[in-house]
Amino acid sequence: MAYQHILLKKENHIATLTLNRPESLNALAGTMNAEIAAAIQDVASDSDMRVLVLTGAGRAFCAGGDFKGGKGTAASLASRRRQPAELAKAVRSYTQGIALSLQNLEIPTIAMVNGVAAGAGFDIALACDMRIGCENSRFRVAWTLRGLTTAFGTTWFLPRLVGVGVAAELIFTARIVDAQEALQLRILNRQVPSSDLESETLALASQIAKGPPLALRLSKQNIYKGLEVDLDTALAFLASAQSQLFMTDDFVEATKAFQEKREPVFKGQ
Amino acid sequence: MQYKTILLEKKQNIAKVTLNRPARLNALNPQLISELTTAIPELGKDPDVRAVVITGAGRGFCSGGDFKGDADSLAAGQNPATRHPEDSRNRIRGYTLGVCYALQTLQVPTIAMVNGVAVGLGFDVALACDMRVGSENARFMVGWTRRGIVPAGGTVWLLPRIIGLGRALELIYTGRFMDANEAERVGLLNKKVATTELEAETMELASTIAHGPTTALRLDKLNTYKGLNMDYPTMLEYLAICQAGIAQKTDDFQEASRAFIEKREPVFKGR
C-alpha cells in the first residue's frame, strides 16, 4: 500500500512509523487513520520486526483529531444529524484500528515524542509501551477542551502511569504538561536534547531489538494482562509462557553464550 | 435542611463543603456523618454544581472518627461489651458507605482542600476526592493502624492507586505521618502551596474545572475509576458509547467546535 499521510521504514528489525501531515501538526484525518491501521497490521504480521518506533514529522508528534473541517475529519462528526449508533461505530473503528491495535502489537513499542502530543495524539503516545521525549515534548488531554471524553483511552492509560489523582487533574483541567513535568510524572521514560532524540531512541530500540524476541513478546503480554488478573492467575500464565520459551533456540543460545562468556545472538525462534 | 456540623456554600458553579467541628479537629461523630450522608448526594443532583471542594474548619482537615467517648462522639450510647458484631458492622458501613463511598462516586469532580491533619477516616475522606491540594500544614496518617484496627473507609483500595503499592503499604503498616512535602513528591497531593494561598489556589483549580465541559468530565470521572477494573478493549467500547451517545450530542461539543473555527476560547455551559 502506498502511503500518503504516513511513512513506514523497516531496518535492522526496527519499524519506524512516522505520522506525516506536518502542515497539520500530524492531526488525524480520514484516510490517514486507515493508513496508520494498515501500517500497524503490516508490522504485526512481519516476524522480522522486533521493535516499533512511533513518531511525527516536523515539529509536532500528533495534535489529535483534525477539527479543521472537511470530509473524514473529526469536525464532520459534529453534525447532530448522525445517529448515536452510527457515531459509536465510527468512533470504535478509529479507536480500535489505531489505539487498540497499537497497544495489542506484540512487539515493544516506543513513542519518540518530538513535540506536542494532544488529544488522540496523547492517547497514541500512551498506547506505546515507552516514551522518549525532548525539551519540545508537550502533552495535553485536549479532548476536554472540545467538550469530549478521551475516546482513545487516556482514562485507562494515564492512572496506571501517574496515579488516579494526577490523572484526574490532567483530564479535568486539560492543562499542558511540559517535558520536565512529564519526566517527573513518569509520562516520559527519558528526556534528551532534541538534537539527540533520534539517536537516543534508535539506541534504545536497537538494544531491545538485540533481545530475545519471543521472550520480550510474552513479557509484554504478561505485563498488560497482569494488570487485570490476580497474582495466582498471572503466575499460571507465566508458567505456560516459560515452558514455551524453554523450548526455543534463543534459550539454548543464551545458555551457551553465558557459559562461553560472550554476547548472545538471538534469532527470534 | 439546616446543617449544624457542616457549612455548605455554592458560588459560581462550585460547591464548597466545610466540615465544621473545629474544636474536635472536625472529627466525625454521628451528627456530622448524618449531615454528610444527606448533603453529598444532593450535590450530585444539582446541575449547577460543576466542581466540589471539601475542606475542614480551623486548623485540621479531619482527624477521623470521634472516639473521645462522650455523648458527642461515635461511642455515644454504645457499650462495647454488649455490642453485637453485626451491629458494629452496620455502624461502620453507615459511615464508610454514607460518606466515603458516596463522596468517591459523586458524579462531579471533587477536590480535597487539605488545610491540616487528615487522619484515619479523615484520610479516607481526602482520598475519596479525585484530587488533593494541600498547605504546608497538610499531614496524613493511617490512624486505624495505631488503634489496632483496619482502615475501613477505603484507604487500602484508593491509596495504592494514587501513590503505588509500596508506599501505600508502608503508610498502612507503620501508621506514620506523611507531611505535605513528601505528599506532594509522591503524588498524594496534586499540589502543595503556602497556607495563605491554599484557598485561592484550590478555588482556581475548581474554577478551571467548573468552566469545563461538565458532561464530558462526569463521563471521564466515571470511566477513569471503572477503567481501573476493566481491560483496555472493554474500556474503548465504553468510551465509544460515551463519546457518540452523549458527549458528541452536547451543546458544549457544538460550542467547542464553533469556538475552534472562530479561533476563540469556548464557553462551556455544562450541558
Give the residue from B104, B239, B263 with the most A CB atoms within 10 Å of its CB, the best one to mutate. Answer: B239
Q: What whole-number distance in Å separates Cα of residue B71 and Cα of residue B88?
A: 18
Q: What pLDDT band is residue A65 in, cutting at 50, 70 and 90?
A: confident
Q: What pLDDT band is residue A16 in, cutting at 50, 70 and 90?
A: very high
With a cut of 60, say whether residue A69 has pLDDT above it.
no
Kindly report the nearest CA distance between residue A150 and chain B, in angstroms. Answer: 7
Q: Is the CB of residue B53 less than 8 Å from the CB of residue B16?
A: yes
A229/B contact by beta carbon, under 8 A:
no
Q: Which A residues, 42 through 81, put their C-beta within 8 Å of a C-beta on chain B?
A: 67, 69, 75, 77-78, 80
- Give the residue-averaged pLDDT of B4-14: 97
0.90 surpassed by pTM: no
Asked if B239's CB is within 8 angstroms of A150's CB, the reply is yes
Give the residue from A143, A161, A172 with the most B CB atoms within 10 Å of its CB, the best one to mutate. Answer: A172
Q: What pLDDT band is residue A76 in, cutting at 50, 70 and 90?
A: low
For residue range A168-188, list pLDDT tens digits in order. Answer: 999 999 999 999 999 999 999
Q: Is the CB of residue B55 less than 8 Å from the CB of residue B68?
A: no
pLDDT of residue A11: 97
- Give the residue-averaged pLDDT of A55-76: 77
Chain A hits for B240, CB-CB cut-off 8 Å, are 88, 91-92, 95, 151
**How many CB contacts within 8 angstroms connect chain A with chain B?**
170
ipTM: 0.73
- Give the residue-averaged pLDDT of A28-47: 92
Residue A155 burial (10 A CB sphere; 0-12, 13-18, 19+): buried
Which among B247, B267, B232, B228 has a CA at the least distance from the CA of A149?
B247
pLDDT of residue B77: 66
Q: What whole-number distance in Å separates Cα of residue A226 and Cα of residue A237?
A: 9
pLDDT of residue A237: 87
For residue range B116-137, list pLDDT tens digits in order. Answer: 999 999 999 999 999 999 999 9
- In one letter, which amino acid is A85? A
Q: What pLDDT band is residue B27 in, cutting at 50, 70 and 90?
A: very high
Q: What whole-number distance in Å separates Cα of residue B220 and Cα of residue B87?
A: 37
**Which chain B residue's Cα is nearest to A169?**
B131
**Which helix H or strand E contains A208, and what residues bound it?**
helix A197-209
Q: Is the CB of residue B62 less than 8 Å from the CB of residue B27?
A: yes
3-state class (DSSP) for residue B238: helix
Q: Is the CB of residue B115 less than 8 Å from the CB of residue B57?
A: no
Kindly report the nearest CA distance between residue B173 and chain A, in angstroms. Answer: 21
- In one letter, which amino acid is B42? E
Task: Name residue, grid cell 553464550.
Answer: A257
- Picking from B208, B252, B257, the nearest residue to A173 by CB comes out as B208
Grid coordinates representing B183 are 505528599
Whole-number percent of chain B with pLDDT over 70: 98
Grid coordinates representing A154 are 487516556
With a cut of 80, say whether residue A119 has pLDDT above it.
yes
Q: Is the CB of residue B132 less than 8 Å from the CB of residue B112?
A: yes
Task: Name residue, grid cell 554476547.
Answer: A263
**What letters, b where the CB count within 10 A reaches 16 and e where it falls short, cover A77-106?**
bbeeeeeeeebbebbbebbbbbbbbbbbbb
